[in-house]
Structure 1
Amino acid sequence: MTTPTRAIGIDIGGTKVAGGVVDENGEVLLRARRDTPHRSTAPHVVEDMIVDVVQELVEAEDAPVSAVGIGAAGFVAADRATVVFAPHLSWRHEPLRDALARRVDLPVFVDNDANAACWAEWRFGVGRGESHLVMVTLGTGIGGAVLLDEKIQRGRFGIAGEFGHMQVMPGGHRCECGNRGCWEQYASGNALVREARSLVLAGSPLAADLAARVGGDVHNITGPMVTEAAQQGDPTAAELLAEIGQWLGIGLANLANAFDPGAFVIGGGVSQAGPLLLDPARDAFRRHLAGRGYRPEARILAASLRNEAGLVGAADLARDAVLRDRPDEEDEA
C-alpha cells in the first residue's frame, strides 16, 4: 500500500498551538490553531489542544494523512518522543509522543521546533542547496538547529542547537532555564520587550511614542508593536531593534567559529523586522568574526517560510520518517 503523501504538522509555542496539513511540496493545504490559555501551559492542557487541532484537520482533510509531526519549543530527547525540558512550558521529561499516540490514530513524531523550521527552510525555503546550514529562530526565546549533509544534527542526547542558552554575559539577566546571561536574554523578543518597557517605566522622553501607543501601560508593549513603531519611523524603537540585532550578530560570529556554515537562516517572529534587525546583525557579525577579512563569511538570510516553517518542517520530517520505515508497493515488488 502506498503511503499517503500528506502529513500534519503541529507547531507548539509559548502562546499557541498551530497546525496544518502539508503536502510533499511543502504547501499548507489546511490550517487550524488554538491559543494557549493565559499561564496554562500544563502538559495536559497543551496535549488537549494538540489533539483538538489534529482532529479538526483530519476531519476537514479529504485525502489520507500519513503522520503527525510535532515541533515543540524545548529540549527533545534523541528518541523523538520525550520533551526533556521546555523553558517556556511546564514540561519536564514529558512523554509527549506516547501520550498523543494513545489519542491520535496516526504515527506521531516529536522534534524540536527549530529543527523543524531548519528542515523546512532547507527543503522548501531560502536554505535550498546549502550543504551546511544553521537556523536561529527569534521568538519568546531563541531556538537553533544545525543541518549538515542533508541531516539535522540532534546530538548524542537530542539537545543540540540550543543556542539561546549559551551564556554571553556571565552574571547577566536571569533566564527561564535557570542560568544567567543567556543569549536569548539579549537577542530575543523577550529582550526587546523588556528593554522597551524599561525605557517607558523610566519616563524617558525618548520612549514617548511607545508610551503613547500603549496608553502608558507597559504591559501592553509587545515585540510586534515595537517592530511596527520602528517600521513607522520611531527612532527609539529602531534603536532597540538595532541593539537586539547587534547581540544577534555577536552570537552568530561565535556560532560561525563552531560550525563554519555557508549560511545562517534567521526565523521567528522577531525576524519580521527585516533590515531593521538583520543589517545591524550583519554589521556586528563582520566586526566580531574571528579571522575577519581572511575567511569566507556565511550569508545571513531572512527565513522565507515565516511563521509556518515550524509546522511545515514538522510535517515533512514525520512524513520522511514514515516513508523510511514503510516502503511503498514499488519498493516491495
Structure 2
Amino acid sequence: MSMAIGIDIGGTKIAGGVVTADGEVLATVTKPTPAADPNATTNTILAVIAELRSNYEVTAVGLGAPGFIDNSRSKIIFSPNITWHNEPLSQKISSSTQLPVILENDANVAAWGEFKFGAAQNHHTAAVITVGTGIGGGIILEDRLIRGSYGFAGEIGHMNMVAAGRLCGCGANGCWEMYSSGNALVEYARTRAAQTPADASKMLELAGGSPAGITGLIVTKAASEGDRAAQDSFREIGKWLGRGMVNLAAILDPEVFVLAGGVSEAGDLLRVPVAESFKENLVASDYRPSPLILLAKLRNSAGLIGAADLALEAVKKKV
C-alpha cells in the first residue's frame, strides 16, 4: 500500500500525517511553529516527519506552505508569516530525509484534498475558497491544479473589489479579503455591537461586555443562538463572498465552489447568505446552470491529505 507524509505548515502549528493513496489518514503529529526562526521551523518539520516515519514506510513527502511557491515546487519565494525568502525548503527536506519531496501553496494542497477526497470529489472543475484570517484559494480546471506561469495562481483574496477601499496587509486597497474574511467578520461584529448593543446582547455577554473582546468563535456561537448582530455579520461577509464568487464564475465557470477554512465551520450561517448573494448577482442566473456551493468536508485534514496525495502523484509520474 502506497503511503506518503503530508505536512500542513501554518503560522501557529505544523500538522503532519501519514496518508494512503485512498486519502485515509493513518497517523498524525502536530507541533507548534517556531515562526520567528525559519531554521527552527525546518527542524520542526523534520521532527514531525521522523516521528511519523518511525512506524510507517512512506515513499514521499508533500509540504503545504503559506506564501508564494515557485512553479518548480521547490522554493518558497516569500512567506509573510514565517519570514522565508527564496527558501529551498524542498531540497532541504529531501536531503535530510532521502525522500522525494514536493512543495505547494497551503491553499492549493487543501483545494486538492477537497477535490480528490472531499466536497468536490467527482467534479472536474472546482474553486475552493479558504475563508480564514484572510481569503485563500485553489483552482482545479479539468482535473488539473492551476498554478499559473510562475506558481502564484489562486491568490484570489487579493482581487480588487472596491476602488480605493480598505487598506489590505498586502499594501493594496479594496482587496476581497478585507470585506469577506474571518477578520472582516469580527470587525463587522465589533462595530455593530458598539453601535447597537441591544442587537448584540449575546455576543457582548460572551465577550465580557466589551465589543473589543468579540472573537470569531463568539460571533459563530452567538449567531447560532439567535443574536441578530452576529447573524447580520455573517450576512455581510456572505454578501461580499457571493459577489467575489460571481467574478470567479465569469472567468472559471466551475461546477462547484467549496467554502473551506475556519469560518466555513459555521456551516449554513455562512453558506446560505453566500448562496443568496451569488444567485442575486450572477449574470443570467435564470438561464444558465449554477455551480453548487458546498461546505468543505475534510476540515483541518484537507491540507495534509492534499499534500500527501500530490506527492504520491509526483512519484507515480516518475516511475
For the structure 1 residues 43 and 279, does the alpha-carbon distance in structure 2 shift closer, same or farther, using more than 3 Å as the test?
same
TM (norm. structure 2) is 0.93
Matching of residues 58-97 of structure 1 within 5 Å: 58-59=53-54, 61=55, 63-97=56-90
The reply to whether residue 114 of structure 1 matches residue 107 of structure 2 is yes
What amino acid is aligned across from residue 36 of structure 1 in structure 2?
Answer: T
Contact 2:200 2:228 in 1 (8 A): no
Which position in structure 2 is the counterpart of 1:190? 183
How far has the Cα of 1:220 moved from its partner? 4.8
CA RMSD of aligned residues (A): 1.9
For the structure 1 residues 81 and 231, does the alpha-carbon distance in structure 2 shift closer, same or farther, using more than 3 Å as the test?
same
The reply to whether residue 305 of structure 1 matches residue 305 of structure 2 is no
For the structure 1 residues 86 and 205, does the alpha-carbon distance in structure 2 shift closer, same or farther, using more than 3 Å as the test?
farther
What amino acid is aligned across from residue 266 of structure 1 in structure 2?
Answer: L
Matching of residues 22-41 of structure 1 within 5 Å: 22-36=19-33, 40-41=35-36
Q: Give a deviation string over 1:155-203, Cα, whole Å, max 9, x none.
A: 1001111101111122222222221211111111121122233345568
Question: Matched residue of 1:102: which SS?
Answer: helix
For the structure 1 residues 192 and 35, does the alpha-carbon distance in structure 2 shift closer, same or farther, using more than 3 Å as the test?
farther
Contact 1:74 1:85 in 2 (8 A): yes
Q: Give a deviation string over 1:96-148, Cα, whole Å, max 9, x none.
A: 21232333332221101221122112211121221111111111211111112
What amino acid is aligned across from residue 62 of structure 2 in structure 1?
Answer: G
The reply to whether residue 230 of structure 1 matches residue 227 of structure 2 is no
Which position in structure 2 is the counterpart of 1:293? 286
1:49 to 39, 44, 48: 44
The reply to whether residue 276 of structure 1 matches residue 269 of structure 2 is yes
Q: Give a deviation string over 1:225-281, Cα, whole Å, max 9, x none.
A: 321221222222121112111111111100000101111111111111111101100
TM (norm. structure 1) is 0.89
What amino acid is aligned across from residue 54 of structure 1 in structure 2?
Answer: I
For the structure 1 residues 124 and 280, does the alpha-carbon distance in structure 2 shift closer, same or farther, using more than 3 Å as the test?
same
Which runs of 5 or more structure 2 residues have no equivalent in the other structure? Answer: none
Count the aligned residue pairs: 319
Contact 2:3 2:19 in 1 (8 A): yes
Matching of residues 131-146 of structure 1 within 5 Å: 131-146=124-139
Question: Matched residue of 2:150: which SS?
Answer: coil
Distance 2:176 2:81 in 1: 15
Question: Matched residue of 2:97: which SS?
Answer: coil
Identical-pair percentage = 45
For the structure 1 residues 233 and 84, does the alpha-carbon distance in structure 2 shift closer, same or farther, using more than 3 Å as the test?
same
1:10 to 7, 29, 33: 7
Question: Matched residue of 2:243: which SS?
Answer: helix
Matching of residues 122-201 of structure 1 within 5 Å: 122-200=115-193
Distance 1:87 1:168 in 2: 23
Contact 2:108 2:137 in 1 (8 A): yes
1:21 to 9, 18, 21: 18
Contact 1:271 1:277 in 2 (8 A): yes
- Could you tell which deviates more after superposition, 154-163 or 114-123? 114-123
Question: Matched residue of 2:235: which SS?
Answer: helix
How far has the Cα of 1:294 moved from its partner? 2.0
Contact 2:30 2:48 in 1 (8 A): yes
Question: Matched residue of 2:174: which SS?
Answer: coil
Contact 1:88 1:176 in 2 (8 A): no
Which position in structure 2 is the counterpart of 1:330? none
Contact 2:201 2:227 in 1 (8 A): no
How far has the Cα of 1:205 moved from its partner? 3.7
